[in-house]
Chains A and B, each alone.
Chain A
Amino acid sequence: MAHALKGRSAIVGIAAAGTGEAPGRTAIELLAEAALAAIADAGLKLSDIDGLFAATSNHAFPTLSVAEYLGIRPRFFDGTNVGGSSFEMHLLQAALALDAGLCDAALICYGSNQRTAGGRLVSMSEPQWHETPYRPRHPITAYALAASRHMHQYGTTREMLADVAVAARGWANLNPAAFARGPLTRADVLASRMISDPLTSRDICLVTDGGAACVMVRADRARDLQHKPAYFLGGAGAQWHRSITQMPDLTVTAAAESGPRAFAMAGLAQKDIDLVMVYDAFTINTILFLEDLGFCPKGEGGRFVADGAIAPGGRLAVNTNGGGLSCVHPGMYGLFLILEAVTQLRGHAGERQLRQCDIALCHGNGGTLSSQVTALLGSDAAL
């Protein structure tokens, strides 16, 4: 039995801005450009927006900064920051606020100039005092530790990790907007520079610039707008730790809790999913999340993704934009998962368009495998 929120609201506008490199532009400029373009894509006016949801790595009070910059006086706002998973949580918050009538048009937005501002992953995250003496280089250290444990416990190999990067590149090569394109083989990944064992530079996401935004309204209004609505079918978050030292089992993320809850809300199961968009900041992420979200048994993720199984033409369509590994990753990538899902649900994905795409899963990850938020989106056919 699906939850009452299923299908009650929909994403009706999406846009990205400055994806890749945007020299000379600030985070809020990229965010605002994406926001205005998403509102235009929805066929709405800036003055229609009365719900505001934002998270960035640049702004301590993102909804204040965005509302001021755009001149929005939102009736409802939420700046929940759970890293890259913030935007999947914002979808849930927006769905709730819209359904309750607390706002009528919700804008969810993000912007970052991380690449041109310094070229490194920047985080507002405070160091953990009990880790600091050992000089962890988070987020990389944490994910490398998780990968080491998964390899030890389940026989996952560097080749399997490499195949995640190769699959992402395969999709990126079909996406003209992807930042990293061109041939990439398993051997290339294995031969690239080791950053933090067992992760090489090719097992690690890009550092790009980029803004992104989407607009959500209630379903009745969505049907009157210009694009095919991408309905919100279900969403849920789970968080079990902050520091990687406190993660109970490094091979099991809280996606094992957020996923089933989101599926239950939508009344759907894994077999119903046409497109899986998971936050691939590192190659191990894709393996962990496919397991925890129930697409393969725990421990089998490495074997599940190997040999092109999630590449174009494979058995499951995963991260069809090219992912954080090859498309875009400006620090908090979560909103770009949603943009790709909506693009596929609309049938606007060009060369990489899936033959059938009526239900998409977006899974955001934040912190050091800390926050996990799953959202399910679908076309008319999913209702």
Chain B
Amino acid sequence: MSASGPAAGPQAEYQAHLAAGRFMIQRSRSTGRYTFYPRIAIPRTGETDLEWVKASGLGTVYAITVNRAREGAYNLALVDLDEGPRLMSRIEGVETVAIGTRVKARIAEIDGGPALVFDVAQPGKA
């Protein structure tokens, strides 16, 4: 049970998991479909029997850009999780990477709060 209690919605629950150091995503018990960002139902098909499961944390870069701001350049990537859903994040420790690069999630602190970032996955390490 999350720190925010049973009444919390999926967004708050996701963030509470992150704050506790867990990257969790939702999956339908009946169909096995995943969704991200967290919602009250799977989009299109509408399953509401969602459970939180630990994400593998592994994914593949689907698209990437480097925002060249005055205060410095930083990348923004869309990552396809191995479970299926896509999310926006940052690939840490590099200016940019090739699309298709395998990446692994880590919980970091951004602006004082927990946020998911990705590192380039080291081959051979899960």
Listed in ascending order, the chain A residues whose CB lies under 8 Å from chain B are 129-131, 133-137, 140-141, 144-149, 152, 193-199, 243-246, 250
Contacts and interface: CB of A to CB of B under 8 A. Distances in A.
A246 B37 CA distance: 9
Contacts of A243: 37, 88
B78 interface: yes
A250 B62 CA distance: 9
Contacts of A245: 37, 78, 86-88
Contacts of B99: 148-149, 152
B67 interface: yes
B110 interface: yes
Contact of B11 (A129, A152, A244, A246): A129
B68 A195 contact: yes
A134 B87 CA distance: 11
Contact of B68 (A135, A146, A148, A194): A194
Given A135-B74, A197-B68, 6 more contacts: A141-B67, A144-B65, A145-B78, A245-B37, A245-B86, A250-B62
Interface residues on B, range: 20 to 34
Contact of A137 (B67, B90, B113): B67
Contacts of A250: 62-63, 78
B96 A141 contact: no
Contacts of A147: 65
Given A195-B68, A245-B86, A149 B62 contact: yes
Interface string B43-68: 00000000000000000001111111
Given A130-B37, A148-B99, A196 B88 contact: no
A252 B21 CA distance: 36
B121 interface: no
B115 interface: yes
A219 B76 CA distance: 50
Q: Which of B11, B63, B74, B89 has the most CB of A within 10 A?
A: B63
A316 B118 CA distance: 44
Contacts of B113: 133
Given A196-B65, A197-B65, A134 B89 contact: yes
A152 B60 CA distance: 14
A130 B66 contact: no
A136 B76 contact: yes
Nearest to B65: A144
B67 A135 contact: yes
Contacts of A149: 62-63, 99
Contacts of B115: 133-134
Contacts of A134: 76, 88-90, 110, 115
Contacts of B76: 134-136, 141, 145
Interface string B17-36: 00000000000000000001
B37 A148 contact: no
A145 B80 CA distance: 13
Contacts of B96: 197
Given A145-B78, A149-B99, A245-B87, A133 B110 contact: yes
Contacts of B111: 133
Contacts of A144: 65, 67
A129 B64 CA distance: 19
B66 A197 contact: yes
Contact of B88 (A130, A148, A197): A130
Nearest to B38: A130
A339 to B, nearest CB: 32
Contacts of A146: 63
Nearest to A195: B68
Contacts of A199: 65
Contacts of A194: 66, 68
A195 B96 CA distance: 14
Nearest to B95: A197
19 contacts: A130-B36, A130-B88, A131-B88, A134-B88, A135-B67, A136-B67, A136-B76, A136-B88, A137-B69, A141-B76, A145-B63, A145-B64, A148-B99, A152-B99, A196-B67, A197-B96, A244-B88, A245-B86, A245-B88
Interface in B84-108: 86-90, 96, 99-100
A148 B67 contact: no
B110 to A, nearest CB: 4
A145 to B, nearest CB: 4
A130 B87 contact: yes
A130 B89 CA distance: 9
